[in-house]
Each structure stands twice: as structure tokens, then as C-alpha cells.
Structure 1
């Protein structure tokens, strides 16, 4: 029963996974787009390429941080509900 509560107590889990996946995809595409712009030289395009590289690296960084946070929170909740199951078994 407590495992069902775990599913409902963590409603943003799927949302956070989607957000982090989108950050990672955005980061990869932004870096690839910036590299493409670098090969078509113009003064303006170099500036745009540098800004795109920075935003791509930032998106990747935050995407991986969110994924790491999701793993940590899942481990915490699983451990928490396991302890509750054990305590409930001792009471009975």
C-alpha cells in the first residue's frame, strides 16, 4: 500500500524527467547549431555562435543536474517508504 503512496507523493517526477531531457536535447542542438554557424564566417555569426555555445553548455549542465537530483530524491523516497513498511510490520 505504501508503494502506491510513493507513486502519488511524487507527482512531478515525470515532469522533471521531461524537463531534463529537453534541456539535454536543447543543449546538444544548440551546440551543433553554433558549430554550423562557425563554419559560415561573419563577424555577427561568430558572436551568435559564442552565445549559442554558452547557452548550450548551460542547458546541458542544468539538464544533468536535474537528472542527478531526480535520482537522489527517488533513492530517498524509496528508503523512506521502506522504513515505513518495516515499522508498520513491527507494530502488527
Structure 2
């Protein structure tokens, strides 16, 4: 069954950082999933993030190292049991 969702719900987490000797909670967003590939993003793509009030728009740029580095990245890709997957 193909997943054609166009919206995702992801929770903003916190990342604790040391800022001038004081701990500070910083908003943190981690976005992962195979749906990235279905949306046209690949490992190695460089993205541009437009920041608006209450909205982030992620766009792939023309800059990418995936063509040059793909063979290097794939050489080291392994699955959970340690077998090469690329």
C-alpha cells in the first residue's frame, strides 16, 4: 500500500546546549522518513529553508553533492544487521 500523505505531524523537541556556562533549552526539529525520497529529496541534497511566522518551507536547491559523493555514501550504507544495502 502506497503512502500518499502530503502532511506530517512532528513534535518540536528541545535540545539542551551550554550557552556561556548556562544550560539553555533550544527548539529542535528532526525530520526523517522514506517519504523524503518520495517528495524528491535525496541523501546529499542541499536544502533551503524559508522561515516565515509559524511556517517553514523546505526546498531542494540546485546545489548538491549527491552526484559526486553518491558512490562514497553508498559504499558505507548498511542495514540494521550490518549488510550492505546499496
Higher RCO structure, 1 or 2 (CA under 8 Å, sep 6+): 1
Instruction: Using structure 2 for the length normalisation, give the TM-score.
Output: 0.23
Tell me which protein shows more strand as a share of its residues. 2
